[in-house]
């Protein structure tokens, strides 16, 4: 028995004692293969999953390293069955490989013939393959390269894709590093992605994911299709690329609801790509409109399900996914793994904060008590109306006013889910409201005014969750959200994490109704941030309203 920080249990859960001197070191070592499930104050719970182990395997870690990490940091003897299972699970990755064949194009080869026999008997595999070329090799229809990887992953035999990539149409792109340079972790992220050929880079909001994308483009020196969440994000990408690379405005096209430009670098919104006309996706020809050398998926954790279908056809193209979290509320992390690629680089938020590249954050949950009348109304409301009711209680408005007043003059975002609640807040705070119906032109004007300091308070709906670059934002006050969405919590905190010129701490408030489903959802939402090392303080709304120092 050693005095390690980890307790490894036979149900594949790992308990990490956060106060232990070796806790941070241990967390870094287990992060490539273990997934965090719960993170209260003293003991964090991780789980070892097949997908986590295959991700680690794809990133170059082997079973010996994983076993060594578990044994080295475990306080008690590691259950032998778990070690055997880790080795067996990781050994499943790569027994099947996809590769190019000079005559037959794409082939699936196995180093373990019974495995090939097993998968070829799956009804889902049969339509994807062609002739059996020899006992260990079967031809695969080239158009099914993505589909077969998806199916094999679900069968528990993830294939290693060694079929390589087409270079695509060459296009000169250089980084214009006049007065700035890539940060070390950004260079490592690009290197990890390029070495692997395709995959996902996980970086905190505010850590410069766009620059990683630009550097990948400069490495590929090829035509690039960039898929983003919305038009504002598309224009920010364009602005950054013109500023940071040799690309000119004329070389970058926007493919959105309002414009349909196809240029050597084209930035398209997910929304336009998933638009259907008469039951058919109307803009799929964009994928074939040029011989793309690179496809970048911004906010890959938000990739709409239909885009997975398109991505299955793009396996010969290099693909880069960028995200702050691989958590998907629809549970389709396996599709990201098989169709975009495995995780190639992951930098913990706290580590980047320690290097001074993102601002330290103080996360506070402000608990509001409903009045007796509100509690009775909440108790008798229809189940589907309860969250809206408690999330928009009038007491939250007064607390939000007090918090805005406390940080008067500091760039502040008030973020929520319900438009009538936001309109009301906009009125009492005398602040502009940005919502779905706000035109892109008006949004950009307001964002610019906020950046320039002409406006210090903005009330924003979920349209501002993603890809909005507001480095000046220092305070975020969340009044309602998309139920228990962990990814949304990460994005909203990310709005205030850009490093501050004066070195100030960022403040992230969640205003939550006590003893309601709002409190339950808040606990779920905060799980991701706890994983990243951000602890929430809980204070009472009465202290805020009384003007106490919080």
Predicted confidence (pLDDT) per residue in 452-472, tens digit: 889 999 998 876 655 466 667
Distance between CA atoms of residues 47 and 51, nearest Å: 11
Q: Residue 444: what pLDDT?
A: 84
Alpha-carbon distance 429 to 414, whole Å?
10
**CA dist 99 → 19, 102, 108, 117 (Å):** 47, 10, 7, 18
The whole-number pLDDT of residue 205 equals: 75
What confidence score (pLDDT) does residue 545 get? 82
Residue 354 has what pLDDT? 79
Contact status, residue 331 vs residue 308, Cβ threshold 8 Å: no
Q: Kindly state the tokens that stand for 141.
A: 């229809």
Given this model, what pLDDT does residue 522 score?
81
Which pLDDT score, from 0 to 100, does residue 332 have? 80
At 64 the pLDDT is 95
Range 534-549 burial, b when 16+ CB lie within 10 A, else e? bebeeeebeebbeeee
Report pTM: 0.78
Cβ neighbours for 453, distance < 8 A, ≥ 6 positions apart: 411, 472
The CA-based angle 445-451-454, given to 5 degrees, is: 75
CA-closest candidate to residue 403, choices 323, 474, 316: 474
**In the chain, which residues have pLDDT < 70?**
1-2, 38-41, 327, 329, 463-471, 482-492, 494-497, 499-503, 527-533, 535, 548-550
Which pLDDT value is given to residue 271? Answer: 87
The pLDDT value given to residue 528: 65
- Cβ-based neighbours of 377, under 8 Å, separated by 6 or more: 389
CB 341 within 8 A of CB 544: no
């Amino acid at each position: 028995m050693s005095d390690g920080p980890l307790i490894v249990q036979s149900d594949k859960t790992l308990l990490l004692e956060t106060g232990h001197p070796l806790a941070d070191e241990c967390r870094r070592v287990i992060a490539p293969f273990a997934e965090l499930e719960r993170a209260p104050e003293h003991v964090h719970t991780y789980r070892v999953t097949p997908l986590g182990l295959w991700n680690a395997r794809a990133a170059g870690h082997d079973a010996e390293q994983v076993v060594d990490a578990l044994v080295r940091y475990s306080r008690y003897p590691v259950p032998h069955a778990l070690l055997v299972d880790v080795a067996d699970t990781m050994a499943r990755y790569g027994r099947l490989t996809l590769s190019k064949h000079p005559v037959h194009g794409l082939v699936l080869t196995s180093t373990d013939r019974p495995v090939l026999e097993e998968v070829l008997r799956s009804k889902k595999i049969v339509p994807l393959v062609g002739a059996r070329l020899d006992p260990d090799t079967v031809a695969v229809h080239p158009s099914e390269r993505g589909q077969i990887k998806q199916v094999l992953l679900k069968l528990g035999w993830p294939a290693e894709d060694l079929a390589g990539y087409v270079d695509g149409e060459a296009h000169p792109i250089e980084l214009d590093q006049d007065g700035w340079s890539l940060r070390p972790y950004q260079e490592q992220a690009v290197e990890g992605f390029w070495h692997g050929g395709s995959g996902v880079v996980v970086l905190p909001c505010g850590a410069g994911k766009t620059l990683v994308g630009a550097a990948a483009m400069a490495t590929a020196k090829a035509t690039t299709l960039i898929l983003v969440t919305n038009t504002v994000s598309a224009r920010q990408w364009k602005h950054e690329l013109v500023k940071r690379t040799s690309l000119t405005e004329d070389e970058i096209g926007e493919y959105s609801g309002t414009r349909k430009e196809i240029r050597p670098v084209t930035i398209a919104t997910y929304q336009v790509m998933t638009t259907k006309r008469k039951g058919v996706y109307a803009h799929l020809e964009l994928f074939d409109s040029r011989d793309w050398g690179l496809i970048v998926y911004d906010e890959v954790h938000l990739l709409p399900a239909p885009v997975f279908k398109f991505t299955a056809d793009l396996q010969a193209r290099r693909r880069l996914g960028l995200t702050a979290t691989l958590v998907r509320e629809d549970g389709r992390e396996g599709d990201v793994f098989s169709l975009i690629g495995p995780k190639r680089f992951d930098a913990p938020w706290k580590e980047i904060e320690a290097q001074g590249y993102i601002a330290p954050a103080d996360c506070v949950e402000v608990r509001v008590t409903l009045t007796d009348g509100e509690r009775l109304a909440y108790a008798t409301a229809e189940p589907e109306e309860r969250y809206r009711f408690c999330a928009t209680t009038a007491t939250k408005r007064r607390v939000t006013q007090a918090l805005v007043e406390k940080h008067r003059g500091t760039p502040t975002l008030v973020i929520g889910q319900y438009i009538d609640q936001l309109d009301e807040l906009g009125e009492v705070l005398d602040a502009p409201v940005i919502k779905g119906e706000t035109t892109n032109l008006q949004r950009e004007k307001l964002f610019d005014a906020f950046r320039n300091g002409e406006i210090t308070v903005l009330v924003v709906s979920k349209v501002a969750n993603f890809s909005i670059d507001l480095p000046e934002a220092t305070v975020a006050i969340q009044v309602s959200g998309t139920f228990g969405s962990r990814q949304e919590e990460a994005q909203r905190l990310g709005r205030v994490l850009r490093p501050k010129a004066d070195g100030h701490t960022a403040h992230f408030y969640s205003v939550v109704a006590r003893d309601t489903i709002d409190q339950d959802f808040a606990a779920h939402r905060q799980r991701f941030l706890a994983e990243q090392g951000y602890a929430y303080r809980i204070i009472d709304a009465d202290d805020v309203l009384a003007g106490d120092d919080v």
